[in-house]
Amino acid sequence: MTLSSRTARLALAIALTATAAACAPGEPTPTRTAEEIILGFSQVGAESGWRTANTTSIKEAAAAAGIDLRFSDAQQRQENQIAAIRSFIAQRVDVIAFSPVVESGWDTVLQEVKSAGIPVILTDRAIDSADTSLYRSFIGSDFLVEGRKAGEWLVEQYQGTTGDVSIVELEGTTGSAPANDRQQGFAEAIAANPRLKVVASQSGNFTRARGKEVMEALLAAHSDIDVLFAHNDDMALGAIEAIEAAGRQPGTEIRIVSIDAIHDGMQALAAKKINFIVECSPLLGPQLMTLVERVHRGLEVPARVVTDESTFTPDQAKAVLPERRY
């Protein structure tokens, strides 16, 4: 072997050793193509069937679009979400998207994102910041309209009847956009009939277990409940367990109006344990990836993207259940 050959082999060995060290287990060296987009996404948590379907939609859509998704679960804690956003800044992602746990308290961290030159997209939930330059677009349902649809249906059901109607309300996470807006929209709608009275309203935190627990307490405190308005299906399903355990009939003795239209909720609707559901689609992934690609390319995007949704009665639920995706 010549000296030059030995020198070449030594150089190759050193290069291979350096590469192996750089790619040691647990410490992969991130690589990307010139066209690859890195998206940092912070999810609220996994508190409901709706949220699980939403996460699946986002992950599948990112994979289909060839987008490198850096996903973080906030476990329903704002401080976890803020930490995740700061981590995304440090990772130098191209776009940050997140579904805010609550509406307020975002200006400081989003100003940091803006200073880093990273565009932000809000998904599913809004924030109450007066500075709309902190994000490029907000994609999701109109929660105010959802609450109004639920209230309008109830007003129609009690047209021409006499006597007061006692309503209990299971609110979503305190301070969150869907809880605030659904409550407001519902209140505005039922104001058309002053006999419709909300006698108690309490947070069930969007979870089935908490919905059951709160409904048990409401049933013990109020013997004359006519209607339950639940801010999501999971709380309604938990409440159904409590109502049946108390020896009452959900859907007949206590009418139930809910929001979401997840599969379990639609099954309860088809069984007439729930009377009416306002849809809130979690399948935002494809639309979100389109927005991500456009803002990354510096193109204009709508400041507000509203999802197209419906409402369901028991018969309508039976018709669509066989093909329901979530």
Same domain, residue pair 148 and 275: yes
Give 326's pLDDT tier (boundaries 50, 70, 90).
confident
Q: Give CA–CA dist 76/101, Å, rounded.
A: 6
* Cβ–Cβ < 8 Å for 123, 288: yes
What average pLDDT does this structure show over 3-17? 35
Flag whether the pTM goes above 0.75.
yes
Q: Is 105 left (phi over 0), alpha (psi -120 to 50) or beta?
A: left
- The reply to whether 9 falls in a domain is no
In a domain? residue 194:
yes
pLDDT at 19 > cutoff 70: no
151 and 197, same structural domain? yes
User: Residue holding tokens 């999810």?
Assistant: 43
In this model, does residue 21 exceed pLDDT 90?
no
Higher pLDDT, 71 or 33: 71
Residues 6+ apart with CB under 8 A from 272: 251, 252, 314
Q: Both 274 and 187 in a single domain?
A: yes
| pLDDT (0 to 100) of residue 283 | 94
Among 20-29, 58-67, 248-257, which stretch is predicted with the lowest mean pLDDT? Answer: 20-29
Instruction: Please compute the mean of the pLDDT values over residues 166-171 and round it to a whole number.
Output: 98
User: Does residue 107 fall inside a structural domain?
Assistant: yes
What pLDDT does 308 receive?
Answer: 82
Domain presence at residue 317: no
CATH (domain of 69): 3.40.50.2300
Confidence of residue 28 (pLDDT cuts 50, 70, 90): very low
Mean model confidence pLDDT for the chain: 90
Label residue 24 by pLDDT band (50, 70, 90): very low
Containing H/E element for 161? none
- Residue 77 pLDDT class (50, 70, 90 cuts): very high
pLDDT, tens digit, 9 for 90 and up, residues 213-270: 999 999 999 999 999 999 999 999 999 999 999 999 999 999 999 999 999 999 999 9
Tokens of 63: 């994979």
Mean pLDDT computed over 191-211: 97
Give CA–CA dist 287/284, Å, rounded. Answer: 6
269 shares a domain with 147? yes
**How high is the pLDDT of residue 1?**
40
My answer on whether 131 and 147 are in the same domain is no
Tell me what percent of the residues of the chain surpass a pLDDT of 70: 90
Q: Count Cβ atoms below 10 Å from residue 86 Cβ, excluding itself.
A: 14
Looking at the 3D structure of the chain, how many domains does it have? Answer: 2
Residue 17 has pLDDT above 90, yes or no: no
Instruction: Please report the pLDDT score of residue 35 as a whole number.
Output: 72
Strands (E), the chain: 38-43, 68-73, 95-98, 120-123, 137-140, 165-171, 196-203, 227-230, 255-260, 276-279, 304-306, 311-312
42 and 148 fall within a common domain: no
Range of the domain at 188: 143-280
Instruction: Say if residue 37's pLDDT is above 50.
Output: yes
Query: 217-221: long-range contacts (C-beta < 8 A, 24 or more apart)?
Result: 218/168, 219/243, 219/246, 219/248
Whether residue 14 has pLDDT greater than 70: no
- 226 found inside a domain: yes
pLDDT at 265: 97
Could you tell me which residues come within 8 angstroms of residue 158 by beta carbon, excluding any fewer than 6 positions away? 165, 193, 195, 196
pLDDT-based confidence at 3, cuts 50/70/90?
A: very low
CB 98 within 8 A of CB 134: no
133 shares its domain with 205 = no
Are 206 and 119 contained in the same domain? no
Same domain, residue pair 185 and 265: yes
Which two tokens mark 116?
């880093």
> Is the distance from CB of 261 to CB of 278 less than 8 angstroms?
yes
HSE toward the beta carbon, residue 211, CA cutoff 13 A: 27
Q: For residue 199, report the phi and psi dihedrals to the nearest 5 degrees.
A: -90, -20
Looking at residue 11, what is its pLDDT? 38
Structure tokens given for 229: 């308005």
CA–CA gap between residue 33 and residue 5 (Å, rounded): 34
Q: Are 105 and 116 found together in one domain?
A: yes
| Average pLDDT score over residue span 35-43 | 94
Asked whether residue 96 is assigned to any structural domain, the reply reads yes
125-145: buried (b, 16+ CB within 10 Å) or exposed (e) per residue? Answer: bbbebeeeebbbbbbbbbbbe
Residue 69 domain-assigned?
yes
- Do 132 and 184 lie in one domain? The reply is no
Q: How confident is the model at residue 34 (pLDDT cuts 50, 70, 90)?
A: very low
Q: Residue 5 pLDDT > 90, yes or no? A: no
Residue given tokens 């150089």 in the structure block: 11
pLDDT for position 158 = 97
Does residue 33 lie within any of the structural domains?
Answer: no
Beta-bridge partners for 250: 254
Q: Please report which confidence band the pLDDT of residue 324 belongs to, taking 50, 70 and 90 as the band edges.
A: confident
Report d(CA 13, CA 295) in Å as an integer.
44
Amino acid code (one letter) for 5: S
Tell me the pLDDT band of 32, cut-offs 50, 70 and 90.
very low
| Rounded-to-integer distance, Cα 81 and Cα 321, Å | 34
Residues 147 and 265 in one domain: yes
pLDDT tens per residue across span 306-321: 988 999 999 999 999 9
